[in-house]
């Protein structure tokens, strides 16, 4: 309980006004900083709802006996709809407001305390409904304003409250809880702000009488000490929760009510005392509490010292002691000591009046020692982090392609939009602006054009009642000036500084409903704008409570329609187009922008992730000052605050209902700012006046800033405030003022660009310094509460609660604490703030992460969710700031400390993103690496390097996902809005830099060289050690140039190499920072083609080589390094290179014929029937040790594809393929994909099905058709996909390169049962990197082997084994692959062409092997796998793999390239071929 029951349960007692002097010590504070002091009730015999005094935070808070009365005008009180509630049941009453809208009012009495709940529901889902209300305490009926108010409530002219309704389906609802027993009734009206319409009851107020509990009679009372004990028991029963002050009060009164019910049921006070103080019902602490209460009763009876003086003296003692957190027993003891202090004064002869005067001056002598601060959640300078299951914060959603959720049904244009479309087609001239405004369920069009050089304004609406335009013209933005008579349309009427013109009905056969329209021609160029409102029937219609305003002059920054913006592919184009059309309206002010964004949220959510990406891009352009913030429009700060509040509330609702979008919603929230609850926005406007008045600084910069704040406050004001504070703290150094502004993007030109420009520099007097620093410091919190969602101080204050008193005209603000927070949370936040500026940031990072972990369970269901989200965002931001501050401190840090820092920041990132499974396994990997280091494992650095590589891959994957999601929208919208191209180009990059991923990356870069040095890895991994001389060419992806042919010898520096690419013609070397496996296809082809291939781990070395682009280099690789040197062009012997190119081998294929059989068993495999892959696996049967297992195989031999194609069943497919082959021969590469798709249209001849079934069943293999026709169809599709892979782009170009006749390429299909492997491996029985034939080189992955030989990122586990010592494998590298492939029991169909094993041609892996079932991608956790945690198990498995490779090499008598799997510790070999 926020230092409660145990520390407070809202105790009430009388307090003299003399205590007010103490109040000025701390006008406002946040509750977490101190103790809520227990106030004794020992002398109170009956409950008195009197003036209460609490120690709350670091201050004494008063409830003043001052009522704010409201009058509603003469007719508001004339008639009442009276709803009288009884105490026996909830009463419901319904009223009809008009033909379509019904009002329902429910009044209910909770089971405890005085709180009554009034529920108001309206059958209308308008966003603009407000409850205009107040409370009545006595028969005079004047309104008072209760302190307990619904979220979003605003004070209206200090006379009434206005609370927004909450939309729920087609209804709007609102609940009001009244906890003041003196309130007898509520009165209200309903106001539709958009329509400017009041809903009354026969011209008067709705009046709701509140119920009273009939068992609360004046002659029944309970001693307060018993109420305290009962409240304590309730607190314990409920798990010692963290209560808000309001909840504390409710619990205290609920305890009283329970005891009163027992008395009403016949129990005596003595019975209650016996029960509550019995040993069975009290703990030691409760006994102490009772004991303390009794002592106080005794001492109280011996003196006549009033309780209010005792409380004040207790407060003074508490302050002198350092404001410690007292236990209940200590609190009671402190009251006793305070009473003794005063008793001593009384015994000295002082009167009570004299004591009262002395106490208010602090002249009462007291002995109290400052208490040491005791932290419950931490000891010393570190917190004690809780042990949590890392997997508990896993968030995982089904992955799906990013696409806009758009209904195929074409958009139906409204009548107004049809009118607009028709009008635009006939306008001869440019269109300056076009805006559509929502008028409840109707629309208003405002179109400004320049036909024939004239300015014309077109207005149209589908409102049903006759509409009158009440308008004016402005020569200065925002003013109302009467339009000249030459401008007035016929039948217009001048009305003071305005004119009124009626709309006319436009009828057309194309319009389904009538549209009222109006055209105005304004030829005078001196007018800059046109303000207006509408009168429809008897209702005035405004723009969200403000005047409409039309821009008549367009500046250079005006939004214009840009040609050539592309097709918007990969975006929510329709939403982005809407945003672009509305930007000219959004430019007016933040209020307009946030309200427009709120209106677009439904469309964005319906469009899915791309829709929310559109909102994020737009808000990010705004936050980075790429868009205009304010243009010719005055707006009150509270209106901006309300608009922010409305938008963030909608974002909060989507966060709750669509958890799959939470990551992007957090990003949007961080760009918007929190918005002010209650009257915090209004204080921006009011408080600056108080600052000016208090510090006598009404001219110069303060007056100019004041005018800007009144006109349109923005996030710039936070920076301006900080600049003024920094200026005074630097002894009035103006350069510091400008540095703060410039560092945050505010230049002198920007200050001058405001509608209310700031022209002056600060020039304060020294005697103003202290007061201004104090007041601007307080003002900063007000500014940040609205504008800075990621500001930690204001985020904490909004969650933990604070109160700021009003002064004069300035409204007060009270933010209640968020309920349901963990009991230790306040202490945790206090620790964070105490260390927030520490240079040594380790303890701070622990505190921030612990706070985020404590918050995490609440980030889905709390009523005040957005406040908690902003706190979490602020904590996340604080982690990034702390890491940046502490980065330099790691210069000489130990690897263990750097790894610990990395684990903290990875944890922070995992708490901020969706689909964080990979990051969580990275986090587990870092934990294991630290354990290995601590235990002295000499492999720790090698393992940590694999975790580092995997973490980098995870960051790269996240960056790629952001780029795919956000960059297309940024480019499309940026072009539509004319955003600076540089800002558009780096949009996603800046998003990433601003996140936690950038902090992780910096730490990884710090650790990487340390690990490489410790593990003796060097700067290079040489995959193909071939000397090379060539010209440097830098490319992003090897894939993008694989089909290119270089005319000169070329050293390619490719930033991305995935593993399945081809080496382009003319390339003599490929250098990359990427990490393809040594045994991946591209690695094998590099070695076979005698191309130098190496990975460089040092970014500086690679950058040096990239800087030599176009230069001639000589590369000399060793097994672990690459030495390079620059050469002169004349040193290159061109004839040698050209001879090498021209001597590329020309190979011939033997065309295979159909043998007459569709399927054959392994015993029938011959060179005329199948390829080397099938023959080699058949050759192994019975020739290897019994512990090496060989899977059963059958095959579809050469010629079967051609036979199936020639079958009458497939005549149409054959004809289509012939046309496509001709197209391909003519050089149209697009035909390759069409051919592959056409092959999939083949039908299976019945004889093929019959023979394949017989061979598979005869070999003991399962027949797919036994599981149903669908399973056979799956198998048939897999076979066709193998055949179709003959026309893969990579394979096609590879055959062309070596001049193979592609038409002679034949494809057999090897059929094997899939072993659902634990691990897969590839063995080269001669080390390919060093070409050392005395050692075996092997790579191992978890799951199926496709992640090893295919284009899957990351490294496999690699090891070597000397052939003379096969029981001693040496691990070279641990795995970093994040993904493993797993599959159910199934069949795989492997390609086996006559071109895969030609001597001198690296054809292996060019064609596809296709399983009948889809593999499942599983994110891998190496930290819990025995292969990586159990050294004995690891040695056993790796040795068995090496022995199997050695046995196969011995059988064939030559070096072998072997693929196999491990299942339950058993070795299976699935194929072997000669190592090339």
Q: Are 467 and 535 in contact (CB under 8 A)?
A: yes
Q: Packing angle between helix 662-672 and helix 865-886, nearest 10 degrees?
A: 80
Which own/partner pairs from 831-834 qualify as long-range (CB within 8 Å, at least 24 positions apart)? Answer: 831/375, 831/377, 831/378, 831/383, 832/792, 832/875, 832/878, 833/792, 833/793, 833/796
Strand pairing partners for 1313? 1387
Strand pairing partners for 171? 168
DSSP strand E in 464-514: where? 467-471, 493-495, 498-502, 504-506
Q: What is the DSSP letter of 249?
A: H
Tokens of 1140: 């090498």
Tokens of 412: 């139906």
Q: Are 1439 and 1369 in contact (CB under 8 A)?
A: yes
Instruction: Give the CA distances from residue 999 to residues 887, 955, 990, in Å, rounded to whole numbers and listed in that order.
Output: 9, 11, 13
Strand pairing partners for 90? none
DSSP strand E in 37-98: where? 53-56, 59-62, 80-84, 91-96
Q: Give the containing element (helix H, strand E) for 205.
A: strand 205-209
Instruction: Look up 710 and say whether it is catalytic.
Output: no
Q: Which residues contact 835 (CB under 8 A, 6 or more apart)?
A: 381, 843, 844, 847
Distance separating alpha carbons of residues 739 and 726, to the nearest angstrom:
9
Q: What is the DSSP letter of 371?
A: P
Q: Which of 1081, 1179, 1302, 1324 is catalytic?
A: 1081
Distance separating alpha carbons of residues 402 and 648, to the nearest angstrom:
25
Residue at token pair 């889905």: 860
Distance separating alpha carbons of residues 560 and 564, to the nearest angstrom:
13
Percentages of the chain per state (helix, strand, coil), in multiples of 5: 40, 20, 40
Distance separating alpha carbons of residues 622 and 668, to the nearest angstrom:
11
Q: Is 343 helix (H, G, I), strand (E, B) or coil?
A: helix
| Residue 564 burial (C-beta neighbours within 10 Å; 0-12, 13-18, 19+) | exposed
Tokens of 75: 């007719």
Q: What is the 3-state secondary structure (H, E, C) of 104-164?
A: EEEEECCCCCCCEEEEEEECCCCCCEEEEEEEECCCCCCEECCCCCCCCCEEECCCEEEEE
Taken in order 1058, 1062, 1065, 1069, the sign of the CA dihedral is positive
Distance separating alpha carbons of residues 639 and 679, to the nearest angstrom:
10
Distance separating alpha carbons of residues 1410 and 1408, to the nearest angstrom:
6
Distance separating alpha carbons of residues 1458 and 1446, to the nearest angstrom:
10
Q: Is 527 helix (H, G, I), strand (E, B) or coil?
A: coil
Q: Are 574 and 611 in contact (CB under 8 A)?
A: no
Distance separating alpha carbons of residues 1173 and 1171, to the nearest angstrom:
5
Distance separating alpha carbons of residues 434 and 551, to the nearest angstrom:
10
Distance separating alpha carbons of residues 1461 and 1317, to the nearest angstrom:
6
Distance separating alpha carbons of residues 1184 and 1460, to the nearest angstrom:
14
Strand pairing partners for 1050? 1031, 1067
Point out the residues that are catalytic: 1081
């Amino acid at each position: 309980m926020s230092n409660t029951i145990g520390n407070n349960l809202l105790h009430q007692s009388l307090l003299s006004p003399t205590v007010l002097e103490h109040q000025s010590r701390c006008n406002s504070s946040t509750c977490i900083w101190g103790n809520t002091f227990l106030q004794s009730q020992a002398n109170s015999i009956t409950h008195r709802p009197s003036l209460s005094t609490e120690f709350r935070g670091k201050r004494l808070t008063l409830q003043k006996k001052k009522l704010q009365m409201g009058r509603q005008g003469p007719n508001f009180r004339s008639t009442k709809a009276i709803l009288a509630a009884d105490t026996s049941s909830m009463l419901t009453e319904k009223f009809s407001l008009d033909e379509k809208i019904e009002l329902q009012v429910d009044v209910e009495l909770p089971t405890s305390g005085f709180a009554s709940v009034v529920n108001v529901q309206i059958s209308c889902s308008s966003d603009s409904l407000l409850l205009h209300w107040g409370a009545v305490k006595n028969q005079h009926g004047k309104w008072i304003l209760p302190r307990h108010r619904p979220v979003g409530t605003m004070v209206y002219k200090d006379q009434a409250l206005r609370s927004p309704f909450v939309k729920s389906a087609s209804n709007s609802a609102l609940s009001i809880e009244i906890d003041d027993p003196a309130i007898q009734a509520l009165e209200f009206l309903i106001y539709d702000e958009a329509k400017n319409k009041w809903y009354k009851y026969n011209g008067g107020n709705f009046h709701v009488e509140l119920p009273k509990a009939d068992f609360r009679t004046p002659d029944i009372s309970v001693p307060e000490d018993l109420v305290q004990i009962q409240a304590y028991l309730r607190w314990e029963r409920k798990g010692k929760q963290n209560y808000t002050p309001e909840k504390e009060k409710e619990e205290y009164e609920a305890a009283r009510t329970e005891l009163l019910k027992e008395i009403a049921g016949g129990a005596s006070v003595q019975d209650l005392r016996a029960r509550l103080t019995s040993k069975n019902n009290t703990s030691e602490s409760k006994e102490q509490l009772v004991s303390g209460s009794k002592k106080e009763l005794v001492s109280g009876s011996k003196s006549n010292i009033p309780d209010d003086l005792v409380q004040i003296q207790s407060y003074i003692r508490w302050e002198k002691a350092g404001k410690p957190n007292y236990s209940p027993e200590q609190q009671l003891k402190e009251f006793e000591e305070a009473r003794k202090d005063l008793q001593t004064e009384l015994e000295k002869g002082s009167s009570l009046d004299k004591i009262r005067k002395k106490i208010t001056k602090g002249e009462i002598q007291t002995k109290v020692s400052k208490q040491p601060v005791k932290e419950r959640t931490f000891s010393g300078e570190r917190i004690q982090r809780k042990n949590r299951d890392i997997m508990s914060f896993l968030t995982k959603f089904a992955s799906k392609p990013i696409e806009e959720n758009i209904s195929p049904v074409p958009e139906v244009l409204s009548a107004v939009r049809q009118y607009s479309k028709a009008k635009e087609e006939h306008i001869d001239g440019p269109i300056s602006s076009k805006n559509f405004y929502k008028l409840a369920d109707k629309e208003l069009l405002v179109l400004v054009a320049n036909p024939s050089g004239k300015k014309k304004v077109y207005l149209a609406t589908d409102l049903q009642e006759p509409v009158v335009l009440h308008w004016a013209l402005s020569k200065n933005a925002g003013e109302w000036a009467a339009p000249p008579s030459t401008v007035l349309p016929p039948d217009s009427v001048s009305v003071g500084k305005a004119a009124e013109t009626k709309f006319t009905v436009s009828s057309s056969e194309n319009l389904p409903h009538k549209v009222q329209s109006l055209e105005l021609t304004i030829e005078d160029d001196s007018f800059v704008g046109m303000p207006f409102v509408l009168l429809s029937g008897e209702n005035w219609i405004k723009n969200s409570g403000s005047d409409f305003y039309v821009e008549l002059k367009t500046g250079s920054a005006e939004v214009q329609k840009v040609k050539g913006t592309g097709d918007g592919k990969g975006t929510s184009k329709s939403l982005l187009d809407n945003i672009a059309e509305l930007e000219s309206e959004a430019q007016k002010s933040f209020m307009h922008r946030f309200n427009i964004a709120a209106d677009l949220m439904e469309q964005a959510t319906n469009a899915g992730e791309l829709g929310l990406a559109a909102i994020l891009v737009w808000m990010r352009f705004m936050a980075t000052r790429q868009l205009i913030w304010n243009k010719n429009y005055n707006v009150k700060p509270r209106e901006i605050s309300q608009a922010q509040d409305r938008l963030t509330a909608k974002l909060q609702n989507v966060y709750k209902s669509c958890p799959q979008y939470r990551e992007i919603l957090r990003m949007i929230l961080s760009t918007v700012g929190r918005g002010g609850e209650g009257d915090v926005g209004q204080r921006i406007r009011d408080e600056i006046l108080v600052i000016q008045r208090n510090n006598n600084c009404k001219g110069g910069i303060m007056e100019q800033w004041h005018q800007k704040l009144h006109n349109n406050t923005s996030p710039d004001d936070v920076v301006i405030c900080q600049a003024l504070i920094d200026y005074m703290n630097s002894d009035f150094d103006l350069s510091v003022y400008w540095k703060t502004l410039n560092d945050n993007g505010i230049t002198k030109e920007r200050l001058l660009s405001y509608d209310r420009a700031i022209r002056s520099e600060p020039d304060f007097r020294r005697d103003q310094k202290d007061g201004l620093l104090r007041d601007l410091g307080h003002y900063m919190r007000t500014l940040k509460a609205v504008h800075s969602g990621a500001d930690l101080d204001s985020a904490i204050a909004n969650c933990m609660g604070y109160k700021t008193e009003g002064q004069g005209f300035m409204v007060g603000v009270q933010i209640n604490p968020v309920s349901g927070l963990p009991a230790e949370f306040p202490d945790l936040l206090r620790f964070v703030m105490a260390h927030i500026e520490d240079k040594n940031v380790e303890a701070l990072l622990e505190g921030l992460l612990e706070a985020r972990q404590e918050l995490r369970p609440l980030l889905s269901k709390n009523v005040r969710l957005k406040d908690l989200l902003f706190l979490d965002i602020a904590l996340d931001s604080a982690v990034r700031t702390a890491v940046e501050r502490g980065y330099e401190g790691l210069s000489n840090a130990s690897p263990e400390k750097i790894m610990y820092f990395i684990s903290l920041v990875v944890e922070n990132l995992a708490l901020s993103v969706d689909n964080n499974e990979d990051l969580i396994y990275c986090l587990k990997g870092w934990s294991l690496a630290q354990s290995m280091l601590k235990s002295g494992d000499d492999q720790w650095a090698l393992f940590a390097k694999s975790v580092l590589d995997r973490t980098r891959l995870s960051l790269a994957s996240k960056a790629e996902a952001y780029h795919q999601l956000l960059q297309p929208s940024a480019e499309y919208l940026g072009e539509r809005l004319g955003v600076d191209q540089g800002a558009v180009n780096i949009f996603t990059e800046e998003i990433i830099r601003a996140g936690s991923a950038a902090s992780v990356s910096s730490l990884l870069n710090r650790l990487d060289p340390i690990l490489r040095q410790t593990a003796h890895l060097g700067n290079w991994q040489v995959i193909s050690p071939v000397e090379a001389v060539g010209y440097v060419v830098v490319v992003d992806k090897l894939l993008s140039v694989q089909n290119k042919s270089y005319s000169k010898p070329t050293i390619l520096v490719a930033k991305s190499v995935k593993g399945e690419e081809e080496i382009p013609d003319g390339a003599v070397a490929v250098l990359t920072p990427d990490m393809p496996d040594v045994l991946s296809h591209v690695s094998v082809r590099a070695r076979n083609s005698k191309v130098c291939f190496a990975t460089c781990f040092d970014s500086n070395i690679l950058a040096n080589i990239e800087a030599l682009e176009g230069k001639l280099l000589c590369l000399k690789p060793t097994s672990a390094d690459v030495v390079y040197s620059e050469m002169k062009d004349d040193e290159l012997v061109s004839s040698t290179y050209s001879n090498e190119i021209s001597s590329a081998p020309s190979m011939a294929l033997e065309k295979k014929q159909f043998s007459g059989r569709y399927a054959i068993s392994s015993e029938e495999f011959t060179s005329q029937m199948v390829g080397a892959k099938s023959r080699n696996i058949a050759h192994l049967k019975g020739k290897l040790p019994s512990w090496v297992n060989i899977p059963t195989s059958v095959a579809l031999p050469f010629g079967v594809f051609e036979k199936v194609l020639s079958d009458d069943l497939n005549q149409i497919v054959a004809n289509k393929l012939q046309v496509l082959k001709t197209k391909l021969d003519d050089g149209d590469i697009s035909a390759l994909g069409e051919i592959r798709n056409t092959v999939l249209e083949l039908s299976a001849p019945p004889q093929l099905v019959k023979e394949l079934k017989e061979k598979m069943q005869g070999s003991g293999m399962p027949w797919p058709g036994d599981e149903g026709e669908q399973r056979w169809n799956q198998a048939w599709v897999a076979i066709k996909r193998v055949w179709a892979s003959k026309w893969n782009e990579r394979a096609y170009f590879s055959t062309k390169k070596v001049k193979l006749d592609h038409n002679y390429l034949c494809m057999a299909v090897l059929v094997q049962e899939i072993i659902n492997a634990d691990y897969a491996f590839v063995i080269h029985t001669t080390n390919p990197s060093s070409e050392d034939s005395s050692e075996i080189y092997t790579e191992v992955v978890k799951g199926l082997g496709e992640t090893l030989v295919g284009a899957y990122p990351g490294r496999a586990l690699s090891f070597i084994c000397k052939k003379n010592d096969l029981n001693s494998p040496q691990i070279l590298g641990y795995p970093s692959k994040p993904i493993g492939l797993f599959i159910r029991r199934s069949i795989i169909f492997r390609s086996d062409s006559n071109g895969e094993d030609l001597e001198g041609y690296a054809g292996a892996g060019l064609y596809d092997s296709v399983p009948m079932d889809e593999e499942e991608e599983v994110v891998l956790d190496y930290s819990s796998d025995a292969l990586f945690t159990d050294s004995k198990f690891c040695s056993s498995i790796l040795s068995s793999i090496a022995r199997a490779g050695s046995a196969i090499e011995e059988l064939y008598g030559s070096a072998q390239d072997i693929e196999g799997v491990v299942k339950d510790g058993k070795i299976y070999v699935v194929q072997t071929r000669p190592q090339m």
